[in-house]
Amino acid sequence: MIKFPNEVDKGLQTKADSGRVALVHDWLTGMRGGEKVLELLCKRFPQAPLWTLLHISGSTSNTIEARVIHTSLLQYMPQAPRKYRNYLPFYPLFAEMTKAHATELVISTSHAVAKAMVRRPLKSRPFHICYIHTPMRYAWDLFDDYFGPQRVGRFASYMFFRPLVKLLQFYDTMTCGRVDLFIANSTYVAERVLRIYGRKAEVLAPPVDTERFSGCKRDAGDRYLVVSALVPYKRIEHAIRACAITKRKLRVVGKGPETESLQRLSTSLSVDAEFIGFASDEMLTVFYSQARALLFPGVEDFGIVPVEAIACGCPVVAFKLGGILDSMTDDTAVFYDEPTEHGLAEAIHRFEMREHKFQECELRARASEFSEAKFLAGFERILERAVGISVITVSSTPFNDHIVAESHL
């Protein structure tokens, strides 16, 4: 068992929610996958204050909004709520000026600089667990998608953004020592943590609200489905071109800077494609239930959308790389190895040849392995093993019955 410095773990075992635990998150601007993880941690530690770079009031759930939230200097910068990404060069500065303090346990959920936002005093320091969604993706693996010549221009890419990213890489690796225990959201991310930071990480899949699909009735049609932000690295273009090759119908749910160009592409290729834009949870459930299959051509750190799809009994056709390999099996998805529209088109043909073999009950059963209760039980086991906090001492929350029941299986 990993011990806290100065044996403060004994106090935590009896006062798990008495102000000795702090949460850290990169920014609060909406409810995406990372915020769903944070929301469950807020329920697990209902009294824990939260540190973040930026908070747009009302943008997250009531559970998150209800607690004390500390923000950084970014909160007061001009047009920060709309253009906070423009302040990227200053993120390390904001992080160094904004750190969780007066605590014995810090839990950060990080895909940028949150893992650096923890104070390291000389005599007594908090034990720091980082649930990492990914090391800074724009600094390590997706430079061209964010800052390549085609995105920002050749001069800016090479003369400004490349040196900037080198500095971000230096800061990212320099601050990884502030973390005592990494928890990665997939095997894929754990491998990146080892490669980039030289650190091993536990693996715990993020929570998926599978319960909201429990009443979904499968009514598959002839239209394939994409659910995604419409940005270049998601490879939605491959789905459109694959449907042009196979003469199949497509429905695209999501929005982003690529919306207009993707619509023009589908028109030029004569693809019968519906662009829905934003969809409510209720409508998204309908789209999953009606889809012939979900097309997933991108590479994700984990990928919540495919799990939501199979929770509705909808099979998946996916590129064989990334977190998808943790969530999908040959009983829930058809994989392809060539990251092109031709690779996806061939996979669509293979899917249709064995479409009848996908069993709705097996798809739904697999999805249940990634429920919120499973996440909380898994997190509890890691927490207890690392710092000795017993589930019995946790303040009452709606999830505690799940935690106690599953953590003793």
- Whole-angstrom Cα distance, residue 206 to residue 201? 14
Q: What is the DSSP letter of 252?
A: E
Do 343 and 396 lie in one domain? The reply is: no
Residue 106 near residue 85, CB atoms below 8 Å? no
Whether residues 187 and 216 share a domain: the answer is no
Distance CA 45, CA 190 (A): 25
How far does Cα 217 stand from its chain's mean position?
27
Structure tokens at 7: 């044996």
- Model pLDDT for residues 257-274, shown as the tens digit of each residue: 899 999 999 999 999 999
Judgement on whether residues 73 and 137 belong to the same structural domain of the protein = yes
79 plus 202 within the same structural domain: yes
Same domain, 157 and 190: yes
User: CATH number, domain at 184?
Assistant: 3.40.50.2000
The verdict on 88 and 112 lying in the same domain is yes
Question: Could you list the residue range(s) of the whole structural domain that residue 103 is in?
Answer: 5-207+371-407
SS (H, E, C) 68-80: CEECCHHHHCCCH
Are 359 and 223 contained in the same domain?
yes
Comparing 245 with 47, the larger pLDDT belongs to 245
Question: Are residues 170 and 184 located together in one domain of the fold?
Answer: yes
**Same domain, yes or no: 272 and 348:** yes
Same domain, yes or no, for 130 and 51? yes
pLDDT of amino acid 3: 40
In tens, the pLDDT along 103-128 reads 789 999 999 999 999 876 555 678 99
Q: Indicate if the pLDDT at residue 41 is higher than 80.
A: yes
pLDDT tens digits, one per residue of 336-375: 999 999 999 999 999 999 999 999 999 999 999 999 999 9
62 lies in the same domain as 203: yes
Alpha-carbon span 248 to 240, nearest angstrom: 9
What are the φ/ψ torsions at residue 68 (nearest 5 degrees)? Answer: -70, 125
What does the pLDDT look like over 21-37, one tens digit per residue? 999 999 999 888 899 99
22 contact partners, CB below 8 Å, separation of at least 6: 48, 49, 50, 51, 100, 101, 102, 103, 105, 106, 107, 126
Q: Once rounded to an integer, what is the mean pLDDT over residues 315-344?
A: 97
pTM: 0.85
Please report the pLDDT score of residue 231 as a whole number: 85
pLDDT band at 394 (very low <50, low <70, confident <90, very high): very low
Task: Please give the average per-residue pLDDT across 149-176, as a whole number.
Answer: 83
- The enclosing H or E element of 386 equals helix 372-387
Say if residue 249 is in the same domain as residue 384.
no
Number of domains in the chain: 2
Inter-residue contact 334 to 347 (CB < 8 Å): yes
